[in-house]
Amino acid sequence: MTQTPRRVTRALLSVSDKTGLIDFARALAGHGVELVSTGGTAKAIAAAGLPVKDVSELTGFPEMMDGRVKTLHPKVHGGLLAIRDNDEHKQAMAAHGIPQIDLLVVNLYPFEATVDKGAGYEDCIENIDIGGPAMIRAAAKNHDDVAVVVEANDYQAVLDELTANKGATTLTLRKRLAAKAYARTAAYDAAISNWFALQLELEAPDFRAIGGRLIQSLRYGENPHQTAAFYATPEKRPGVATARQVQGKELSYNNINDTDAAYEAVGEFDAKRTAACVIVKHANPCGVAEGSSLLDAYHKALACDSVSAFGGIVALNRTLDAEAARAITEIFTEVIIAPDATDEAIAIVAAKKNLRLLLAGSLPDPRANGLTYKTVAGGLLVQSRDNAVVDDMALKVVTKRQPTEAELRDLKFAFRVGKHVKSNTIIYAKDLATVGIGAGQMSRVDSARIAARKAQDAAEAMKLAAPMTKGSVVASDAFFPFADGMLACIEAGATAVIQPGGSVRDDEVIKAADDAGIAMVFTGTRHFRH
């Protein structure tokens, strides 16, 4: 491997995205580089008045089969793969009239964009690039001699090196470009393979690839001694990855994780039906409420646990207005995320220069299909998104007492919230607001008691005569294995319970509910979240 800069005498350009192409081609020509190109790229360069050789002149073969075959030829791949200091390679090039190609510029057919716009099967297939990835991989393999560029963002780096090194590129740059090239083709193939799995309804394909594009490098991960970065996947789900940051400090790893949890939770609430607010701390909701306005919903959510809300994430399901913005900025908040914001609200938030304001454009669909990923040592767990929605469930009253209309409304609300709280989960709710949340405990009884204790603390802070769990309803993300957890909820003041059911001791739990005179509803659906 040589450290000697490699002079660029010939460049092959074949790009789908022509952003910056003409300026780059013009600069290359200024360095005495011969331009070789294909199809629409060659036409664009020629139309700009620059000399360009069509790849068919180099190969001696015309483009054929609707452009599917144009660069898959020994004179292209030989020019990319030939080792310049290898005598046998040089002799083969001379014997077969293979010109060396020192710079390859390729960005791929827009497969991901074609899928995003909902194109049909055949259109997606036609936008799978074959020649492009083959050339990219060849050039990247031979990075000792060839520079490969896969996106316009790197045009200037190449030009800077040509200027600094009398028309040559350094090995350092070629290595960096090669690494990026392989990552790009890997992400491209991942998008294609996952699309195929979806088309074929393969729940567990033999190979699962994940690809992403860097959104930003992060200062550190969950802790300062950990490195981290944020990547966008091909899935265009409204949320933190697609949101526009209007203002505030750079998002941290924990900000991104918590904001995603908050926005996914608030997406459960149809903005046409109600205003809703979710406040999250350490990836768990600490307050959730529906209201007549965002301001009303925020105040109700905050009342659940105003202590935990300090330094939290606030997610809203409607356009942030001035009234809600004023209230939210009264306490220290890390991030506000909403579909949109009024100009007045943006101006109010701007007074808190470190507060991040993210506008996502729309809400995530809680019913949408999709995949979630989690790493384990030496492996990757992949599952379909939990897209079960309580409104779609066949609820079954299993007790002698039926829930009242108000209780049933709050039961559905509580179960909707419980889907987004770490297991074991207990949610007390009243008047479409959480009044106590118990999250992530090893025992469901402990979650019930912690949630009740939180409600007592909130009552003391608001100088209420009794905790708001009195007369509340309660939701459990999974069945009660014994009656003790439910009895703890009843002791806290709950009058109705919603849970999946399915325990071998369901009869025992139902009897305890009947003995206490409370209503119980089974959903048949569990919402574990780990």
Q: Which residues are catalytic?
A: 141, 282
265's tokens = 């939770």
Q: Are residues 286 and 309 in contact, defined by beta-carbon separation less than 8 angstroms?
A: yes
Q: Would you say how long the chain is, in residues?
A: 530
How many angstroms separate the CA atoms of 24 and 330, rounded?
51
Positive/negative CA dihedral, 517, 523, 527, 528: positive
Q: Are residues 427 and 496 in contact, defined by beta-carbon separation less than 8 angstroms?
A: no
According to DSSP, the residues that pair with 33 across neighbouring strands are: none
- Helix, strand or coil, per DSSP, at residue 23: helix
Quick one: DSSP state of residue 145? T
How many angstroms separate the CA atoms of 129 and 71, rounded?
11
Q: Are residues 194 and 209 in contact, defined by beta-carbon separation less than 8 angstroms?
A: yes
Map tokens 């009024």 to a residue.
342
The radius of gyration of the chain's CA atoms, rounded to the nearest angstrom, is: 30
Specify burial of residue 11 (Cβ count, 10 A radius: 0-12, 13-18, 19+). Answer: buried
How many angstroms separate the CA atoms of 468 and 450, rounded?
14
